[in-house]
Amino acid sequence: MVKYTIHVARGPVARFMRRCGWAGVTIPLRRAHVVMWGEPDMAELRHELAHVDQIARLGRLRWLATILGQYVRHGHKRAPLEVEARRAAGQDE
């Protein structure tokens, strides 16, 4: 189990995330930080918590190296850890 904190971004962080098209982002520090903005979106929250589960399974450094490598090789949408998180959240397929 990885401890995590859910943050609701406001102001410039929320604007930056909106401009990037990110509904949420998970940052694997000592504890995982799930950052979201705007109205609560339960599917997106489940998606980010699936990333927290991945961090628990792989360890934070291995998860970060793996997912960044997958973004480079497959792109964000097709990265296997993203596909897994979307499936866990019931977001597609």
| Helices and strands counted in the chain (H then E) | 4, 3
Site residues (CB under 5 A) for Zn ion, limited to 40-59: none
> How many residues are listed for the chain in this entry?
93
- Give the phi and the psi of residue 81 in degrees, each rounded to 5: -70, -30
Judged by CB under 5 A, does residue 85 bind Zn ion? Answer: yes
Q: How far is the CB of 92 from Zn ion (least distance, A)?
A: 12
Q: How far is the CB of 80 from Zn ion (least distance, A)?
A: 11
Q: How far is the CB of 41 from Zn ion (least distance, A)?
A: 13
Long-range Cβ pairs for the range 23-26 (8 Å, 24+): 24/48, 26/51, 26/52, 26/55
Segment interacting with Zn ion, rule: CB under 5 A, options 10-18, 34-42, 59-67, 77-85: 77-85
Judged by CB under 5 A, does residue 34 bind Zn ion? Answer: no
Positions touching Zn ion (CB under 5 A) are: 82, 85
